[in-house]
Structure 1
Amino acid sequence: MDVEAMHIANGIVNGTVSAVFAAFAALALAFCAWRARADLDDRLAPMAGLVAAFIFAVQMLNFQVLPGVSGHLLGGTLAVVLVGPWVGALCVSTVLIIQCLLFADGGLTALGLNITNMAIIGTAAGYLLVAGLLRVLPKTPSGLGATALVASVVGVVAASQGFVFEYWLGGTTQLSLPWVSGTMAGTHVLIGIGEGLIAATTVATVARVRPDLVYALRRFRKPPAPVPATTAAASATVSGGPA
């Protein structure tokens, strides 16, 4: 039987813990929506729609990672590179809600758990690593692709360990927690590599064609140093212009 990671189904985590994380997810998304207002403009708003549509489409495609185990794009790192952490979390959450309500992909009672893991933890971990790596790696399409690859693996594994924490709090079966943690981490490293290749290819392509649409490049590229007034005046004098 084929097992799909990473959506949590109904009944795996008890109702109390599921309700707590549903409330947490709602509060986290409200905060993201509040912070996203500062980022949204005529350029980012349509880009957010395109990112959400792309993640939704690619999440429908599963890839095999182990016999009997398949995975799909979570999209957190891809989203934060292109549209930033706040809008990115909202994009991933929108996809998860639509998938749950229309395609029964992930349990309804587990929706808060899935949003917490994939839209909050996954995007946060991915963005923190992107922010760190882009301070040392070149802000080029290749550097951005390498950043997206590494951050995707970390973000996916972090999201999987969010489930481990939730299972520790309210798992409905008696499985060894170290076994659950190790199995989830090992499986999601492989899923993260697959996701990273997709994310790296996508963001590098966008960066080559329209670097102005990539949030991470706008956010972490240093602005050009201002030309000192004396230098500008000297240049104008040498070229015959007014001093």
Structure 2
Amino acid sequence: MHVPDGFINAPVSVAAGVAAAAAVAVSLRGARRELDERTAPLAGLVAAFIFAVQMLNFPVAAGTSGHLLGGALAAILVGPYTGVLCVSVVLLMQGILFADGGLTALGVNITVMGVVTVVVAYAIFRGLLWILPPTRSSVTAAAFAGALLSVPASAAAFTALFAVGGTTDVPLGKVLTAMVGVHVLIGIGEAAITAATVGAVIAVRPDLVHAARGLTTPLKLRVDGALVDAPAAAAPAAAAGSTGSTKKVWATGLVTALVLAGFVSFYASASPDGLEKVAADKGFDEKVEDHAAAGSPLADYSVKDVDDARLSGGLAGVIGVGVTVAAGTGIFWAVRRRRGDELTATSTPGSASTSTSAR
């Protein structure tokens, strides 16, 4: 649902840009509480994984495709504030390097694809976990529901912006119906990908899933034919086995992202995505403006001067994953270090006063 330049007028694009900048600023502050030594590099990996999976358009209807938006997945894996930053990094890389999503529409895209999806998905996810039993399957089910509903919510948010600042006179009821209708179908694919990914990570390292922290399944012992909770003393040992180095998880995730972007993406659907299809059907695709980065050597997810389509697309995907993971990891480490510096600055005066009092 990458909005190109020309769909939304300048005043509304600027307003959306201001809103997106404010959301990113709030998220930078909130991410300091979410990130630690283990999750900072994983947040960069989540951004790269979202980039890779967004290259895999899947068919949802005749002549229409969809792709992952990623807000729900990021929010559940690394937290809502960090999730907004993950999607923002992906959209920035796509707009600058690959001419995907307009540069003047970057604020619109961050608001619609990042902020709205994260807020809606995480609110639904947390609401369902409050009702459901605290189990891993509940986390997966809640992730499915949150992801499913976040996509049509994002489509509705775009329609709202189009209602205020659309550059084409199109009946808004028809735009809303078409956008929400096709994105409900895309939401099913989003939900399946999100639930499968969250479930896979929970199965091997539940401690690395932000939304599953503190979620434990009591160890059961059979005593006289009945199942009873194991003694509490057994819990630390079990917990210790679930923590540790993230290198294996990080390497596995990075290899997966590289394979998806570098190889599997060649087999993605070539049909227009939901927004492109609706724009063509309703006639406002004529307002699309040339992308400022159209001359980029990686524009349209291909490498300039590489004639083989499979090789060109694969190289572009690999480069995109590499750049995104590097940029994301650098940003999240900087955010994490800023928190550490603040904690040090906060604790130092207290320590000094305590030392003075002792004297």
The question of a shared fold, defined as TM-score above 0.5 by the shorter chain, is answered with: yes
Of 63, 70, 77, the match for 2:65: 70
Question: Using the alignment, how far apart are the partners of 1:105 and 1:146 within structure 2?
Answer: 32
- The letter of the residue matching 1:108 is L
- The letter of the residue matching 2:179 is M
Question: Using the alignment, how far apart are the partners of 2:161 and 2:36 within structure 1?
Answer: 36
Question: Is 1:12 the equivalent of 2:16?
Answer: no
Aligned residue for 1:111? 106
For CA contacts below 8 A with separation 6 or more, give which structure has more relative contact order.
2
Deviations 1:153-188 (A, max 9, x none): 111111111101100111011111111111111111
Of 18, 21, 29, the match for 1:23: 18
TM-superposed CA distance for 1:223, in Å, is 11
- The letter of the residue matching 2:174 is W
The within-5 A match list for 1:171-182 is 171-182=166-177
* Matched-pair contact (CA < 8 Å) for 2:159–2:175: yes
Aligned residue for 1:183? 178
Any stretches of 5+ residues in structure 1 without a counterpart?
Answer: 1-5, 225-243
TM-superposed CA distance for 1:141, in Å, is 3.1
* Matched-pair contact (CA < 8 Å) for 2:113–2:154: yes
Aligned residue for 1:239? none
Question: Is 1:32 the equivalent of 2:42?
Answer: no
Any stretches of 5+ residues in structure 2 without a counterpart?
Answer: 219-359
Question: Using the alignment, how far apart are the partners of 1:9 and 1:106 within structure 2?
Answer: 5
User: Which is greater in Rg?
Assistant: 2
Deviations 1:59-94 (A, max 9, x none): 111011112211100001111110110001100110
Aligned residue for 2:120? 125
- The letter of the residue matching 1:196 is A
SS at match of 1:37: helix
TM-score, normalised relative to structure 1: 0.86
TM-superposed CA distance for 1:137, in Å, is 2.1
**Matched residues, number:** 218
Of 132, 155, 162, the match for 1:137: 132
Question: Using the alignment, how far apart are the partners of 1:61 and 1:95 within structure 2?
Answer: 15
Percent pairwise identity: 52
SS at match of 2:29: helix
Please provide the CA RMSD for this pair: 1.5
The within-5 A match list for 1:127-206 is 127-206=122-201
* Matched-pair contact (CA < 8 Å) for 1:141–1:203: no
Question: Using the alignment, how far apart are the partners of 2:64 and 2:119 within structure 1?
Answer: 26
- The letter of the residue matching 2:3 is I
Taking structure 1 as reference, are residues 207 and 138 closer, same or farther at Cα in structure 2, changes over 3 Å only?
farther
- The letter of the residue matching 1:125 is V
